[in-house]
Chains A and B, each alone.
Chain A
Amino acid sequence: MGRVIAMRVLGSVGAVFGATVLAFMIMRVLPGNPARLILGPLATSQAVTALNHHIGLDQPLYTQYWRYISDFFQGNWGYSYSDGASVRKLIGERAPATIELALFSFVITMLAAVGLALLSTYRHRPITDRIVRGASYLGFGTPPFFLALLLLIVFFSTLHILPGPEGRLGVQAAAPAAVTRMYTIDALLAGELGTFWEALKHLILPGLALGISSFSFLVRLLRANLLEVSREPFITVARGKGLRRWTAFRRHALPNAFLPTLTAGGLVLGEFLAGSVLIERVFNWPGVGSLVFDAIVKQDYAIVQTFILLSAVMFVLVNLAVDLLYAVIDPRVRIPTVATA
């Protein structure tokens, strides 16, 4: 078990290291001189050189790289010249919006996937199964931002039942007192149910847009796992003990089918947390994604650079957590099988 953990952690460190190198190289390879971009086309070449020096762009690559990663891990993420604030502050301000959206989307996606998979496998009804399988193709292959636009057209422009692309709360409500800075939670904590409801309504469409393609994947995965497990002899044995169908299913089939789905779930959550740039743009969601979108347009290297690395690290960490969770939950990983020939 110790070995398992050690190997996973080592692997993750390696992955992060690789990501840093990649991010670093990409930024250095792109055309355009950051200093000139910052100072504008009218700046003098001395000013450019001076700023270059200040930023450190005239140093040898390995020094720059070392400075890059040591700055990153110390939390010194640079300064955004276009927005006039430290990158860390900017990202910090925007993060809760993205996290809230990611978590919300993850929860509804998982619930929908689990619900439909269960519906399809618990009792053998060919019609239900066919419907579920059809539903699992929803959004399959469609770019999320396109879905986002579609959703807006249907539910906002046409039906007027959900808010439009006006961010997290629109103009009616004010943000609740900041605790977690996730509006739904904070509103509940402050007892402001009206605000809670507003925040929730605004989460629905972007949450759906973000989650649909992952939903498609998860439903099919979970359904396949459930089907496979429900055919295993130990389910029959459980029933043979006298367990009712649902009890046998819940206690024995679900946990075993969920295990492999856990890894997929981790990937999905990691993806969501990395922020969907385009979806945030479509909904004017003030998260990290739209921050990065603007930064790209404005060629603000500091933000983009940090974002690349941050999302890589986040992804790796989420997967590490899933792997470790797996090792804890699945006794076959925790206690290695002593090989009998």
Chain B
Amino acid sequence: MSEPSAPVEPIAQQPERASQPILQAEGLSKVFEVRGGDRFGRKHPVTVLDDISLTVRRGESFGLVGESGCGKSTLARCLLRLLELSAGRVLFDGVDLTTLDRDELRALRRRMQFVFQDPFASLDPRMTAGAIVEEPLEIHEIGDQRERRQAALEMLADVGLTAEQARRRPHAFSGGQRQRIGIARAFVLRPEVVILDEPISALDVSVQAQVLNLLAKLQEQLGLTYVFISHDLAVAEYFCDRVAVLYLGQVMEVADRSALFSDPLHPYSVSLLSAVPVPLAGGRARRAERPQPIGEVGSVIERPPGCPFEPRCPVGRGRDICRAERPPITEPAAGHQVACHFPGEVSVHGARRNGAGTNAGDGDGTARPGHTETAAQ
């Protein structure tokens, strides 16, 4: 394809390209062969991702949230074709990744990068920090050695690490610092899209804040699009513009931040949000009001044929249509998609911050119709 090109201009200078889809998944499915528990240990197919379609707009932070088994990590890897798709396709800036050969794919990979969850395991312990950040430049044959070293040092400085530190190996750094190295490595190529797979989950709370700030700063500086995978809803709500909620390999709901977190339509989203403990006074009283999640997170191996959430759904449990038919994706409001036969029937009770407890510097507790509030403390 094209030669390795100059860094992409920041979004600010390209208003007409902003908010165009840069990454799209269409009917994406991924099936793994798993050795089962039967007597002969036969392999049988497990559908980890089941017909997923998503659109990520240029310049936004798109969140993927879900619990174990939802397939978010697998999805992340499929989006970059780090894993081969079993069905469907992924379009990057209009180009179908599944049709590219190895060289074309490699050239395209320059424009999309990956930051991993585990800051310990994702860095080669025998390479220095500087070498780790230089490596992508080497692989894509950008510049000569001197230029590469320079670019790497600049990138490390951008993430807050000195030239002296560039000479050290991963074991000499803390978890937060290692994650910065991972970020530097991903960003040195000036990609357009960065997929972050739980980038802060393994870090302490105070360090998480530092890394989030860094990511936000770099996004603005470089005009990046993020796909941010997280199991931590508070972080997703804080950081992402739009969020998709996944369950057992299917998309349950996609919406803007404000729409999803204040007025989720899918019973699973409601269940998820209700379950998140909020650091505000009066928590125990609030918790007594909240609906308890039903049952355990399901297994992709035993995914029901209809809606995957049906066995646990306060609305759909036992209902024929929910059991038998996979719900179609509807769009009740602009930009807000949901896969449910009965969207909007459950709402989040008093667990959200609005009007639920006093805090120094709290927002105004406006009541919203249809929600029961606990009395203000």
Contacts and interface: CB of A to CB of B under 8 A. Distances in A.
Contact of B39 (A1, A338, A339, A340): A1
A259 B35 CA distance: 23
Contacts, number: 31
Contact of B301 (A3, A4, A335, A338): A338
Interface string B156-187: 00000000000000000000000000000000
A34 B200 CA distance: 73
Contact of B34 (A2, A3, A4, A339): A339
Interface in B28-78: 34-37, 39-41, 46, 48, 68-71
B300 interface: yes
B299 interface: yes
B69 A2 contact: no
B281 to A, nearest CB: 33
Interface residues of A, number: 11
A10 interface: no
Contact of B69 (A4, A337, A338, A341): A341
A2 B39 contact: yes
A338 to B, nearest CB: 5
Contacts of A339: 34, 46, 301
A242 interface: no
A2 B41 CA distance: 8
A141 interface: no
Q: What's the dominant secondary structure at chain B's contact region? A: loop
Contact of B37 (A2, A4, A336): A336
A12 B238 CA distance: 58
A324 to B, nearest CB: 16
Nearest to B249: A341
A219 to B, nearest CB: 28
Interface residues of B, number: 16
Nearest to A7: B41
Contact of A340 (B35, B41, B68): B68
The listed residue with most B CB atoms (<10 A of its CB), out of A3, A337, A339, is A339
Interface in B190-234: none
A336 B300 contact: no
Contact of B40 (A2, A335, A340, A341): A2
Nearest to A335: B37
Contacts of B70: 341
B32 to A, nearest CB: 9
A339 B48 CA distance: 12
A4 B37 CA distance: 12
B68 A341 contact: yes
B299 A341 contact: yes
Contacts of B300: 341
Contacts of A338: 36-37, 299, 301
Nearest to B74: A341
B69 A3 contact: no
A335 B48 CA distance: 23
Given A336-B35, A338-B299, 11 more contacts: A3-B40, A4-B41, A336-B37, A338-B37, A338-B301, A339-B34, A340-B68, A340-B299, A340-B301, A341-B71, A341-B299
